[in-house]
Amino acid sequence: MPKEEIMAMLLAGGKGTRLGVLTKNIAKPAVPFGGEYRLIDFPLSNCSNSGITTVGVLTQYKPLILNSYIGSGSSWDLDRNDGGVTVLPPYVKEGGGSWYKGTADAIYQNIEFIDLNDPEYVLILSGDHIYRMDYSEMLAYHKSKNSEVTIGVLEVPWADTNRFGIMNTNEDQKIIEFQEKPEQAKNNLASMGIYIFNWEQLRKYLIAEAEANNDSAGDFGHNIIPTMMDDKINFYAYKFEDYWKDVGTIESYWQAHMDLLGEKPELELQSRNWMIYSVNPNRPPQYLAESAQVNNSLINKGTQVMGKIIDSVLFFGVKIGRDAVVENSVILPNTRIASGAKIKNAIIGSNVIVEKAAQIGQEAANNEITVIGDDEIIPANSNIKAGMVVG
């Protein structure tokens, strides 16, 4: 009998180049989100809520903050004597060592770790998507279809199909063709980067790919899945119909925060039915001065507001001065915005100081996003034009 029926391998080593200055000093899955979370909180919470208690987190780029944040895994109830969460950076083996070349190569380099846990199934996840999902339901579907590979999919706008791996299916949801970021898509069912594999099967393909082709990109989408498709392995699509967002660009990161606002937000972070857990130390309550005006915004604990906040998300430790106006913006932790400053359609990084009467993104058109990187100082009375990146 396997020690675990299923375990998860969470790919968290991405550099996140499309997020620009937001990932200058940290791995993409460690980027703050939603006032008090980081991106990696979502897949880790999904695992915990789904009853998956053995999770390997594969790190590589700028891992220190992420490693420290995960710690023992106690925040997600993953600090177990058997299983639990394990951080897996690249390491030197008998024949040497190398960086993870791609998603599949990262799993290949950790075959020994998976074998130690001896699972029947392996769940492969990305560490940088925003969603709630019960992986146990996906596993039940995988078994009911007698599938060897099940891929989580969702419908995307046809105009976006060239950004994703696209699945063409028959009436039974069996995948009959896979198109990796096609120019002319035949379907709009996009891969979510969520896979369930029968471990014995996947193990053989990972070893064969590594031994046969040193020039391989070591990627699931480019290498392993097409080879399996050629061999007529049983592939099925598991259709997901709830909220899911790939926050890999500045625009999608900003939009995902705007999706948290309103009377009926597209994503509810505080649902008691499916908690999103985080490393969230005790902080004092929000302080709203008599001069503060807050409209349709998410204000986290440990913030101080004396100005006007409209349609925005403020993280812990943020201070907003008197007569300052923040609109349609995301303000990351411990940033200070002085009196009279005006910010619109912007993402302001952590530990930023915006001095008196500075203006950021005030002439924004067509939802241009202005971005200020971590630790920057914006001088008094300066004007940062819409769409600019500082940092």
- Residues of each annotated binding site: 100, 165, 180-181, 191
Cα distances (angstroms) measured from residue 75 to each of 62, 164, 173, 216: 22, 32, 36, 37
Residue type, 83: G
Report the DSSP pairing between strands 377-378 and 330-331: unpaired
Can you give the C-alpha Rg of the chain in angstroms? 22
Other CB atoms closer than 10 Å to residue 131's CB: what's the count? 18
User: Kindly report the CA angle at 206 between 204 and 207, in degrees rounded to 5?
Assistant: 65
Residue type, 114: I
Nearest CA to 17 among 7, 8, 27, 9?
27
Distance CA 259, CA 250 (A): 14
Report the DSSP pairing between strands 189-198 and 149-155: antiparallel
Beta strand ranges found along 271-350 (DSSP E): 287-288, 293-295, 298-299, 304-305, 308-310, 313-314, 319-320, 325-327, 330-331, 336-337, 342-344, 346-348
Phi, psi (deg, nearest 5) at residue 169: -125, 160
Distance CA 240, CA 196 (A): 14
Note the residue count of the chain: 391
Going by the annotation, the residues of the binding site for alpha-D-glucose 1-phosphate are: 100, 165, 180-181, 191
